[in-house]
Amino acid sequence: IFNLIVMYNYESDAVFFFLDSHKHKDKYKDKEYKHKEHKKDKEREKLKHGNSDHKDMEKKYKEKEKMKHKDGSTDKHKDKHKEKRKEEKFFVCFFLCSPPHVKSEPDDDYHSPKYEKSIKRERDNDYEYEFKPKKIKTENDKKVKKRKQEDEDIKSKKTKGKKGEATDGKKKAKQEPEEKWKWWEEERYTDGVKWKFLEHKGPVFAPPYEPLPSNVKFYYDGKHMKLSKEAEEVATFFSKMLDHEYTTKDIFRKNFFKDWRKEMTSEEKSVITDLNKCNFTEMSEYFKAQSEARKAMTKEQKQKIKEENERILQEYGFCIMDNHKERIANFRIEPPGLFRGRGDHPKMGMLKRRIRPEDIIINCSKDSKYPTPPPGTKWKEVRHDNKVTWLVSWTENIQGSTKYIMLNPSSRIKGEKDWQKYETARRLKKCVDRLRAQYREDWKSKEMRVRQRAVALYFIDKLALRAGNEKEEGETADTVGCCSLRVEHLKLHPENEGQEYVVEFDFLGKDSIRYYNRVPVEKRVFKNLQLFMENKEPDDDLFDRLNTSILNKHLQELMDGLTAKVFRTYNASITLQQQLKELTTADDNIPAKILSYNRANRAVAILCNHQRAPPKTFEKSMQNLQAKIDAKKDQLCDAKRELKSAKADAKVRRDEKSKKAVETKRKAVQRIEEQLMKLEVQATDREENKQIALGTSKLNYLDPRISVAWCKKWGVPIEKIYNKTQREKFAWAIDMADEDYEF
DNA sequence: GAGATCACTTAGGATCCTCGAC
DNA sequence: GTCGAGGATCCTAAGTGATCTC
């Protein structure tokens, strides 16, 4: 929805992040841009025009920026693009880790792809520039040993007293909650075994379809038409989405209509031939009224529903895994409906069919009490595979992919994996300098594939790009990651706004979130990119000799367990740690420290391109907050005035009573000042957070021990950083990290 | 070695629910 | 006690990467 612009200033070692919603319509209209986006852009524009409050923020930050960067580089940037981006601009400025230094190097050894192709075979066998196998072996041995050592370290941290509990799996359902189970103090399974005992009640199915009351009618071509139960159910799916933009999209309508017709009787099929003649309004109104009625229910009715939900949760929401009662994440089967793909998904609107017990595979222990299927039905299969973590699986009909029911993030099985993930990222920290030196060396390689690999790795490392697996064309939205970038996603600027060798990225990443970034790169990278793009069509792959499998194989050789995504975890966590060090001031009070934390978190979210649509109520809530601030300011003025007069009074009277009055007034002023500051901090935080989602990085990329250590060091209650669910997920980190923890 | 499959993590939007203001 | 904002939770799509199959 918004463009992310990242600018790097060499002199100040600063990275500037801009969130900018200006149009790139021209680019999208470009003939070469095959996968057209104008519709989406128009929608984005619509969204964008609803948010025009950035100017004030811009002013605020401009001042901060001036203080931080005397070279005025961002001003230059701004001036040049003032016209383009005159609508609005919101930005946050951060200092990140030291940038690569630009060296001027001779333009040697550059060949066109054609030339490269002609010598490809020869060169593919030429390992002169490859990682030396002998070295790898010794290094890898060391790494393996190191890893084993890490495992030992982790094990030695664990108390052995509880050993008997978790291992041999017979059901002895422990009366849990009283004392939280510290799984991180126990032995881990090896050899891919995930559990020894697993018992659960199976999934909760979607409620059966309830036909519409007879007064709720469907009209075709202006005439009432009674639909069969099957056709009616699918029609209700569409009617429930009538207010959603989806139903205006051609692909959505086309897919829906095609699948809907499959559910119709032959008679219905012969009559209903045009979706535009269908009138779902009464259905839509009915569901809206139902929704309102639900909201208007009495307390007792709501309580009853709550109790019923709680009963279901207690019955189906937990399993017994190795003597412990563990919470299940998603024990409800996805109800039928219309598929809502993200971005320009070719399958949006298709019918997601109802999942029946006959579609379900149950996974549990042989010696457990198997879940019973609903009366008159049976499971597709009951299996006992303890090398996987899922409890239930089924195949969905849209993409043909498998869906799973798994455990909650607070469970042992998920927690261990999470912990391990951060340990791998910490191992990368120890060797990242070597890896960086290596890929820089590889930019000069005579082998095209090695150069491509090295440039891709540089992007993954520096820009936190995702790996970019290949995708089946026509099956999903056209999104890319690093390895799947196409020529059309990059523009090369030998000179741009006073900076040399600028690469302009513009592509849709995961969830069709736009990644827009103009970044200066090293000369060698730039020259290599020119070479990779030479004689290619816009829709050709940028890295034609690379895919994620090749890249990960290479990474595996450099460090045991290293894959492309480890870089994202590593760079996110290290950025948080650095930012916290830089931004936290000992003298700050708790709200100011929390603001610093959120800013550090925000730096990571921007690095990882975690965007969100601004909340619909954003403008209003900001106005409300501003009104509160204004009122508080008035209150402060009054309080100060009263203090002044109390002081004057005390001076004249010189008695205890008036002295006391001065003291009371002074305290009132102090209190109001604190309240005002709190409100102002809140406003700043909210404004800066408008289009950035902090949750994703907090939950998935930031080693929680960094946050825990920071909280302990600065006396910030952990509840201020992590909510209840997050504390449950990160219980292991909260328990084990002390204030000296270093990522 | 390429493609398919499987098992998982990561992701943003929708919906629910709580808490503070009035 | 009511209302609404916003945080918490739910939902499920969309990635990554290992392994299997041919």
pLDDT tens digits, one per residue of A660-682: 888 888 888 887 777 777 777 67
At A486, the amino acid letter reads: R
Residues 6 or more apart whose Cβ sits within 8 Å of residue A518: A5, A6, A7, A493, A496, A502, A503, A504, A505
- The CATH number corresponding to A218-298 among 3.40.50.20, 3.30.70.1730, 3.10.129.10, 1.10.10.41 equals 1.10.10.41
Say how far A686 CA is from B15 C1', in Å: 22
pLDDT at A201 over 90: yes
A146 pLDDT higher than 70: no
Give the pLDDT band (50/70/90) at residue A268.
Answer: very high
Scan residues 711-740 of chain A and list those with Cβ within 7 Å of strand C: 723-726
Residues A200-206+301-413: name the CATH superfamily: DNA Topoisomerase I, domain 2 (2.170.11.10)
* Bases of chain B within 7 A of a CB of the protein: 4-14, 17
User: Which nucleotide's C1' atom has the smallest distance to the CA of A512?
Assistant: C14
Residue A543 confidence (pLDDT) above 50: yes
Res A29: pLDDT: 30
Residues A542-562 have a mean pLDDT of 95
Does the annotation mark A701 as catalytic? yes
The answer to whether the beta carbons of residues A460 and A505 sit under 8 Å apart is no
Q: How far, in Å, is the CA of A299 from the C1' of nucleotide B22?
A: 21
In a 3-state reduction of DSSP, which class is residue A174? coil
**What is the structure's pLDDT at A26?**
32
Which letter, b or e, does each residue of A608-627 get, where b requires 16 or more Cβ atoms within 10 Å of its Cβ? bbbbbebeeebeeebeebee
Question: Which of the pair, A276 or A110, is modelled with greater confidence?
Answer: A276
Q: From the CA of A225, how many Å to the C1' of C8?
A: 43
Higher pLDDT, A532 or A687: A532
Distance A1 CA to B14 C1' (A): 18
Query: Who wins on pLDDT, A170 or A287?
Result: A287
Task: Locate the domains of chain A by residue range.
Answer: 200-206+301-413, 218-298, 414-561, 574-736
Residues in Cβ contact with A475 at an 8 Å cutoff, skipping those fewer than 6 apart? A346, A347, A399
Window from A132-146, A196-210, A619-633 with minimum mean pLDDT: A132-146
Percent of chain A topping pLDDT 70: 75
Q: Check residue A178 and give its pLDDT.
A: 54
Q: Which of A117-131, A149-163, A248-262 has the highest mean pLDDT?
A: A248-262
Give yes or no for residue A150 having a pLDDT over 70.
no
Beta bridge partners, A507, equal: A515
The structure's pTM equals: 0.75
Which residues 671-700 on A are within 7 A of strand C at the CB atom?
686, 695
| Alpha-carbon torsion (A458, A461, A463, A464), positive or negative | positive
Backbone angle region of A225, left / alpha / beta, with phi > 0 → left and psi within -120 to 50 → alpha: beta
Q: Which nucleotide is nearest to A685 (CA to C1')?
A: C6
DSSP three-state, residue A372: coil
In angstroms, the Cα distances linking A351 to A212, A253, A257, A291, A354 are 19, 11, 9, 23, 9
Q: Which residue out of A316, A570, A597, A701 is catalytically annotated?
A: A701
Determine whether the distance from the CB of A548 to the nearest atom of strand C is below 7 Å: yes
In this prediction, residues A28-51 reach a mean pLDDT of: 33
pLDDT digits (tens, 9 = 90+) for A605-618: 999 999 888 776 66
- CATH topology of A200-206+301-413 equal to that of A218-298? no
In whole angstroms, B7 C1' to A727 CA is 26
- Of these ranges, A93-102, A609-618, A730-739, the one predicted with the greatest mean pLDDT is A730-739
Domain A574-736 = CATH 3.30.70.1520:
no
Exposure b/e, A433-456, CB count within 10 A at least 16 = b: eebeeebbebbebebbbbbbbbbb
Whether the CB-CB separation of A187 and A210 falls below 8 Å is answered with no
Report residue A87's pLDDT band, with 50, 70 and 90 as the boundaries: very low
Q: Answer yes or no: is pLDDT of A23 > 70.
A: no
Mean pLDDT of A40-48: 34
Per residue in A693-727, pLDDT (tens digit) is: 999 999 999 999 999 999 999 999 999 999 999 99
Give the pLDDT confidence of A427-454 residue by residue, as tens digits: 999 999 999 999 999 999 999 999 999 9
Among A130-144, A319-333, A480-494, which stretch is predicted with the lowest mean pLDDT?
A130-144
- Residue holding tokens 């929401």? A317
Question: How far, in Å, are A676, A710, A725 from residue A721 at the CA level?
Answer: 22, 10, 11
pLDDT digits (tens, 9 = 90+) for A334-370: 999 999 999 999 999 999 999 999 999 999 999 999 9
Residue A458, pLDDT score: 97
A341 contacts A477 by C-beta, under 8 angstroms: yes
Is residue A116 predicted with pLDDT exceeding 60?
no
DSSP-derived secondary structure letter, A133 = H
Pairing of strands A278-279, A351-352: unpaired
Q: Is the pLDDT of residue A515 over 90?
A: yes
Tokens of A73: 């580089």
CATH architecture of A414-561: Alpha-Beta Complex (3.90)
Protein footprint of strand B, defined by Cβ closer than 7 Å to any strand atom? A 1, 194, 244, 306, 309, 385, 388-390, 393, 400-402, 404, 406, 414, 417-418, 421, 466, 472, 510-511, 513, 565, 568-569, 608-613, 693, 695-697, 700-701
What does the block give as tokens for A250? 């051609």
Average pLDDT, chain A: 78
Please check the confidence at residue A121 and state whether its pLDDT lies above 50.
no
By the 10 Å C-beta count (0-12 exposed, 13-18 middle, 19+ buried), A6 is classed as: buried
Beta strands in A580-723 (DSSP E): none
Least confident span in A150-159, A234-243, A627-636, A662-671 = A150-159
Distance of A552 CA from C19 C1′ (whole Å): 14
pLDDT, average across residues A170-198: 74
Q: Give the SS3 label for residue A14.
A: strand
Average pLDDT, integer, range A116-120: 31
Percent of chain A with pLDDT over 90: 58
Residue A252 pLDDT class (50, 70, 90 cuts):
very high
The answer to whether residues A351 and A340 touch, using CB atoms and an 8 Å cutoff, is no
User: What does the pLDDT read at residue A553?
Assistant: 94
Residue A392 has pLDDT above 80, yes or no: yes
